[in-house]
Amino acid sequence: MKIGSIDLGNRPVTLAPMEDVTDASFRILCREAGAAMVTTEFVSSDGLVRDVSKTIAKMHTLEEEAPVAVQIYGSLPDAMVDAARMADKAAELAGGHGADFIDINWGCPVSKIAGRGAGSGMMREPDKLVAITEAIVKAVPDKPVTVKTRLGWDDNSKIIVELAERLQDVGVSALTIHGRTRCQMYKGEADWTLIGEVKNNPRIHIPIIGNGDINSAAKAKEMFDRYGVDGIMVGRASFGHPWIFTEIRHLLDTGEELPPMPVKDRVALAKRHFQLSLDLKGPVTGVYEMRRHLSCYFKGLRDFKETRIKLVTSKDPEEIFATLDYVAQRWGDETPIVEGVYGL
């Protein structure tokens, strides 16, 4: 599968953007585990054009995580176009590797974004959505522009089949579709039938990436086989479980499923993740922002409550590393299995 001139390989599995989750440390870990492409946290177009330093910092990427997309969101046409131009110059503005792709967030369902007309809120204004997308494509002619969106606003307005054609016609290089409407949020099961209909539309020639409820290697393979999508995007199931990319890649390439990862190997990954967080963000922010990850690495582990509390309350990096060593010593050979989605 190619996006622009970048080849992501056969049946690539990519990392979805998730606010407060997909920072550089997590993106690097997922790339090392086999994710074919990763995406930044949501970058506010309003924040970029107002020159908010925290927003600009979200565009900082590293060579180790490439290929990487910078994802922008907003609802004001001029601000979105200016933000796309800034994302195109991410290496210059934020340092690091920059953006290989610019992704437009027309899919986030949370009220603080969709309620203001951004994210999946734009599904109620498809003409405006397409017009902004076309303006962005024209504003960054040398950079592939991709879109992530949903089936529609609600069950009575599932517009994705027609919308996919319109987005392709204005120059989008790839389309990721989450199999829910905005009103569903993350409830119920993702409906992949319309994703499959988009993919099998003879008018569609851009890559179609399916997203929603991919929480195991078997589920990923099933969706590839059943709906013929070009790629799959994994979101919530990677949280506390970044090795899901290794599991999926192994099944797709060999036809065999890997056994569950034992705790001692999870500890090694957690320590690698924590060290990256410390290196990139320093001891204060690095500790604070790892708390949401650390306990999820060991979700389902018996008699873990007291140790979990220690992991998510300690402010001392050395104490946290020592606690992780204790976890490996105490539960090292166990393989907790959690049904359904990890983490979020």
Write b or e for each residue in 87-118: b if 16 or more Cβ atoms lie within 10 A of its Cβ, otherwise e: bbebeebbebbbbbbbbbbbbbbeeebbeeeb
Give pLDDT tens digits for 135-189.
999 999 999 999 999 999 998 889 999 999 999 999 999 999 999 999 888 888 8
Low-confidence ranges of the chain (pLDDT < 50): 339-344
Q: Quick check: helix, strand or coil at residue 304?
A: coil
Specify the pLDDT at position 148. 97
Q: Catalytic residue positions?
A: 108
Q: What is the DSSP string of 256-290?
A: -PPPPPPHHHHHHHHHHHHHHHHHHHHHHHHHHHH
**Domains annotated on the chain, with CATH:** 2-254 (3.20.20.70), 263-331 (1.10.1200)
Which of 31, 71, 27 is closest to 48 using CA atoms? 71
**Phi, psi at residue 178, to the nearest 5°?**
-90, 130
Specify the pLDDT at position 344. 38
How many helices (H) and strands (E) the chain has is answered by: 14, 11
Between helices 317-331 and 305-313, what is the axis angle to 10°? 160
Specify the pLDDT at position 49. 86
Give pLDDT tens digits for 72-118.
999 999 999 999 999 999 999 999 999 999 999 999 888 889 888 89
| Residue pair 133/167 in contact by the 8 Å Cβ criterion | yes
Residue 158 structure tokens: 């599932």
Q: DSSP character for 64? A: G
Specify the pLDDT at position 237. 93
Specify the pLDDT at position 343. 39
Specify the pLDDT at position 340. 43
Specify the pLDDT at position 338. 57
